[in-house]
Chain A
C-alpha cells in the first residue's frame, strides 16, 4: 500500500521552474534514489511527495489516493533531512518521542517504543544526551530512530549522509540498505553522489535541470546511459568523450575525429552514417598496448587494484584508461590504444540523446 506516483508534476517558484514535468512510479518496498547535480530539483521533488511543497500542477499519489491537498502529517511518511533537523533543546529521548507525543501515545508505550527504536539504531546510551553532544554519526542514527519510531510506510531521505566524513558515509550506506531490508518499507532517497546511488538503489532516477533524464537499475544506467549527461554523471573517472563524425566505408561504420578512427560495433544502425556525434567510452573499456591509435602518457594515478593512465592522442584529445597495475607507464611514454567496440556509446551531438 505504499507505492507512490508522480504524474506530470511541475513546481514553479515565481517564474523559475524548479521541477518541469516529472512522472515516475515508486513501487511498494522499493529503494528508489533520486540523483542529480545540485540544484536540479531533487529536494523540491521530495518535498512535494512529503507535502512540504505543493506542486504547481500535476498529481502526487500515495497508496491509491491523490494527496495534493493532504497535510504532510497525514500522508504516513517519515523524513530524514539533510541537516537532520534534530530539536536542539530536547534530549535524544524527547527527539525520538516527538512523533509519538503528537499522536498522544500513552507514556509507557512511548517509553517502550523509543527504547526499541534506539536499540535498533544502537543509540541506547545516548537517550539522555542533547543532539549537540552527539557526534555526526550518532546524530544520524538519532534522526533515523526518530523516523523509524513512527513506523511510516514510506521513508523520504534528503542527502542524509552528506554531513558525515567519507569513511562513515560508506559504512552508513551498508547500514541503510540493511535497514531497508529489515523494515520492508518504501525508501525514496535523494543524493548528488552517484556512487551512493549505485551502491544502494534498487532503481535510480537521474534528474537534470528539473527533468528526469533516465530511470533504471544501477547497472542499466551504467551500461546503457540514455544521454550524454547520464553517461558523464556516473562512473569515476568520468567517461571519455570524443566529438566526431560517423563515416560509412566498405559497408562498415567508423567513428572519425581528427586523430582517432574507430570501427563501430556491427549492430550500430546504418542510418547514423554522416551524423555528428559524441562517442563515449569508459576508462575500463579503453584497451592499452593494442589497437591502432597512438597516444602519449601524461599522468599516472596508481590506485592499487588498478592504475589510471591519462594520455593524449594527437596532442589534442584527452583520454583516460583503467589498466592493470602491472602495466607500468611513466609520463611521456608512447602507447597504443583502442576501444572495445561493443562498449562504445554514441550520443547525438546537439541533443545528447543516445543513438545506439
Chain B
C-alpha cells in the first residue's frame, strides 16, 4: 500500500472515530438531562426533611433514611409514630394503590377489549364510513380541564338526581372506582382503536378468507387467527393505556375525594400547613409508582419491540 493510501485511510478512520465520539457525547449528554429528574426523585426519597431543600444542594443524601418509605407504607400512621410531629400527615399509600390498580387495570382491559373489536369492525367493514378512522382521535383536541367541570356536574349532580327519579335510589359516580373506570375507558378508547387499527390492518385479508373457506366462523377466525397475530400489539396497547391512566391527575383530582384516591392525586396530598410540600414522601411515592411501569416494560420488552415495529407479520 502506498503511503498516500495509508494516510487517506488513517484520515478516514480518524474522522469516523471522531464522528462516533461526537454522536455518543450528544446521546450521553441528552441521557443525563433526561435521567436527572429521576435521579433527583430517587435520592430525595432517601432524605429527611432538613435535606429536602438545601443550598448548595446535597447531590446524595448525607444521612440517608427510610423514614419516607416507612411513612407511606405504614398501615396505621398515627399509632406507629412515624408521622412527623409537625405535620400530622395521616396518609399512607395502600388505599390509593388499591384504587389505582383496580381502576387502571379494569379500565385498560375493558377499553382494550372494546377497542380491539371496534378496530376490527372499522378495518374490515369500514364501520362509520371511510373517514371515521381519522376522526377517532378528535377527542384529543379537547383539553381535559375543559371537560373536568362539566363531568363533575354529571358525576355529582345529574346522574344521582336522574337515578333517584328513575330508579328510586341515589347512584353517584362521583368519588367511586366505577365512575373513574368509566371515565378512563371513555377517554382511552380512541387511543386503543387507533393503535389496534394499525395492527389489525397489518393482518392480510387472505388469512381470514382461508379460514372462512375452511368453514370457520367470524368469531372463530378472530380468536384463532386475527387476535393471536395482533397479540403483541394488544400488549403494547394495554401498557400504553395503563400508563396513561396510571399517571392521569387532573380528572381524578376533580372527580374524587375523599373516599377514592388514585396515586398521582395522593402524591399531591402530601403537604402540610407548617412544612408545605413534603418532598420526601412525595419522592418516595413517585419512586414507588414508577416501579410497576418499569417492571412491566422490562417484562414485555419482547412484545414492545415487536409491537412498536408495526410491520410484524410476515406474509
Binding site for B on A (CB under 8 A): 50-52, 71-74, 77-79, 81-83, 85, 87-89, 98-99, 102-103, 131-132, 146, 150
Contact = CB atoms under 8 A, between A and B. Distances in A.
Contacts of A131: 314
B229 A77 contact: no
B215 A81 contact: no
B143 to A, nearest CB: 41
Interface string B288-315: 0000000000000000000000000111
A47 to B, nearest CB: 8
Contacts of A50: 213
Nearest to B217: A73
B18 interface: no
A89 B229 CA distance: 7
Given A81-B206, A89-B228, A99 B313 contact: no
Given A102-B220, A132-B314, A85 B215 contact: no
A82 B209 CA distance: 12
A72 B217 CA distance: 10
A98 B214 contact: yes
The 3 A-B residue pairs whose C-beta atoms are closest, nearest first, are A73-B215, A99-B214, A85-B206
Interface string B219-230: 010001100110
Nearest to B211: A98
Given A88-B229, A88-B313, A132-B314, A83 B206 contact: yes
B204 interface: yes
Nearest to A80: B210
Contacts of B210: 79, 81, 85, 87, 146
Contacts of B228: 89
A102 B206 contact: no
Contacts of B217: 73
Interface of B: 204, 206-207, 209-217, 220, 224-225, 228-229, 313-315
Contact of A73 (B204, B212, B314): B212
A99 B215 CA distance: 7
Contacts of A89: 228-229
B315 A102 contact: no
A153 to B, nearest CB: 13
Nearest to A78: B213
A72 B213 contact: yes
Contacts of B225: 87
Instruction: Report which residue of B207, B213, B215, B225 has the largest number of chain A beta carbons within 10 angstroms of its beta carbon.
Output: B213
Contact of B214 (A51, A73, A88): A73
Given A52-B213, A85-B207, A87-B210, 15 more contacts: A73-B213, A73-B215, A73-B216, A73-B217, A79-B209, A79-B210, A81-B206, A81-B209, A83-B206, A85-B204, A85-B210, A87-B225, A98-B224, A99-B215, A102-B211
A73 B215 CA distance: 4
Contacts of B314: 88, 131-132
B213 A79 contact: yes
A42 to B, nearest CB: 15
Contacts of B215: 73-74, 99, 102-103
B86 to A, nearest CB: 60
Nearest to B229: A89
Contacts of A88: 229, 313-314
Nearest to B207: A85
A88 B313 CA distance: 7
Contacts of B209: 52, 72, 79, 81, 85
Contacts of B229: 88-89
B211 to A, nearest CB: 7
18 contacts: A51-B213, A72-B209, A73-B214, A73-B216, A78-B214, A81-B209, A81-B210, A85-B206, A87-B210, A87-B225, A88-B313, A88-B314, A98-B214, A99-B214, A102-B211, A102-B214, A102-B220, A131-B314
A10 to B, nearest CB: 21
Contacts of B211: 87, 98, 102
A96 to B, nearest CB: 11
A83 B315 CA distance: 7
